[in-house]
Amino acid sequence: MTERSSERPFPRREGFSFVMEKSHALPLPSDAKENPEIADVSPLCTSALRFSSLFKERALQEGQGIVASPEESVHLVGPRVGVLRFGEVEVETPAFMPVGTVGSVKALSPDDVEDIGYRLILGNTYHLALRPGVELLQEFGGLHAFMGWKGALLTDSGGFQVMSLAKLRKLKEEGVTFANHLNGARLSLTPESVVGLQDSIDSDIQMVLDECTPHPATFEDARSSMERSMRWAARARQGRTEKTRAQFGIVQGGMFGPLRAQSARAITALDFEGVAVGGLSVGETKEEMRRVLCATAPFLPHHKPRYLMGVGAPDDLVDAVLLGIDMFDCVMPTRNARNGTVFVRTAAQPSGKLHIKNSMHRDAKGPLDPECRCKTCRTFSRAYLRHLFVAEELLVHRLLTIHSLTFLYDLMAELRTALRQDNPWESVASVRARYVGPTPAAAG
């Protein structure tokens, strides 16, 4: 038998750093006149660069009243390439992170995930605290050892469940108490206790407890929710321990630019090792997500990793990378795969999506995506995959998930390659065209 990653030793993990290799400011509209590629990278890009140029020109006011004082450090928006270092484990950014909510990236073994190239995946503190319980994880020396994962782990705090399990929880200033979704037993989380839980999990990146603001929300509701999340963030920062490797704050503020700016300032002031943008991908339109991200990005600290939570559609990934996001996670790519829908390059299917159950694949000898390097595409025809899906064979979930995660890994890898160039815009547009489709005409 050849060496499998399950035979390789666990690399040493210690410390945390983010090294920015290169960053780009989105060019100004005036530059776009000389270089038409720029404006075409994406409509988002156009919108973002208009927004950032407003700041460059010290236009101190926008939309619902974002005000940057002349003294405030407001950062130009643009994509970056870098590396997250966890001792011997290194993760190049921008990076997508597969989700392994309860200690398993669904349908895959840890070496499947590692073989694709991933070195950083997600766990969820709320779910792990319920099952198998953090005491058990601690007994095993943490989640890595328990699940046999040799890379790094980021754990979400349970803040998303404050929204998604709204009917099962009570929210107070002190924290949140869940009647847990498995058996109704109570589970209380506070900003401080969540640090302790994540310490026990041995998480490499801890997310602070927050409230993922529901959508839609009034300005007032979004503000009070955000402000509590900021108070919680301060308590979490205060509550970190010697075991806390790295801790990320989370920007909230609903769909309101001024609240986002205010929240970003508050999180920046707490000097976390990284900053996340939460409360997006919660039901808003893609346009709205982009608008909010444009309003948030200039207030995010430049030299820290930035993580956009819950986003994983290829077009959203490209656009958010252009706005300077370094890290992403989303269950959608793996969940869709289990439901028979995978991303493919636009050469394979112009829509970028393939529904394996479609009868057009019944006798298709080709792979899901001829340009894909994944084990599934190297080995199996669409016809076989469709047969497995129709016959409800378990194997199909693993094979489609491997493809979807490889697709996203390679999309991010190609974006990184593009962003290592001095003038990346044409390459980024070409990656976007291959993975997402032609760039839509820039909106006005």
Interacting residues with its own copies (CB under 8 A): 1-4, 6-7, 102-104, 106-110, 115, 131-132, 136, 139-140, 146-148, 338, 362-363, 365, 375, 378-381, 383-384, 387-388, 390-391, 393-395, 397-399
Amino acid of residue 300: L
Q: What gap in Å lies between CA 265 and CA 251, rounded to an integer?
A: 9
Query: Which one from 112, 156, 319, 369 is the annotated catalytic residue?
Result: 156
Strand (E) or helix (H) holding 111: helix 110-116
Q: Minimum CB separation from its own copies for residue 70, in Å?
A: 53
Q: Give 252 or 376: the residue with its C-beta nearer to its own copies.
A: 376
- Burial category of 381 from C-beta neighbours within 10 Å (exposed 0-12, middle 13-18, buried 19 and up): middle
Q: How far is CA 14 from CA 142, 202, 320, 390, in A?
A: 14, 11, 29, 46
Q: Minimum CB separation from its own copies for residue 149, in Å?
A: 11
Smallest CA-to-CA distance from 325 within 284, 278, 282 is with: 278
Smallest CA-to-CA distance from 264 within 273, 274, 277 is with: 277
Query: Which one from 112, 199, 329, 369 is the annotated catalytic residue?
Result: 329
Q: Minimum CB separation from its own copies for residue 186, in Å?
A: 20
Smallest CA-to-CA distance from 166 within 154, 177, 174 is with: 177
Q: Give 129 or 147: the residue with its C-beta nearer to its own copies.
A: 147
410 in active site: no
Is the bond leading into 367 cis (omega within 30 degrees of zero)?
Answer: no
Q: Give 103 or 333: the residue with its C-beta nearer to its own copies.
A: 103
Yes or no: say if 124 and 198 are a contact pair by the CB < 8 Å rule: no
Beta-bridge partners for 307? 276, 327
Beta-bridge partners for 74? none
Q: What gap in Å lies between CA 274 and CA 210, rounded to an integer?
A: 15
210 in active site: no
Q: Give 264 or 377: the residue with its C-beta nearer to its own copies.
A: 377
Q: What gap in Å lies between CA 318 and CA 94, rounded to an integer?
A: 10
Smallest CA-to-CA distance from 430 within 414, 406, 412 is with: 414
Q: What gap in Å lies between CA 113 and CA 398, rounded to an integer?
A: 11
Q: Give 138 or 268: the residue with its C-beta nearer to its own copies.
A: 138
Q: What gap in Å lies between CA 276 and CA 303, rounded to an integer?
A: 13
Q: Give 238 or 379: the residue with its C-beta nearer to its own copies.
A: 379
Catalytic residues: 156, 329
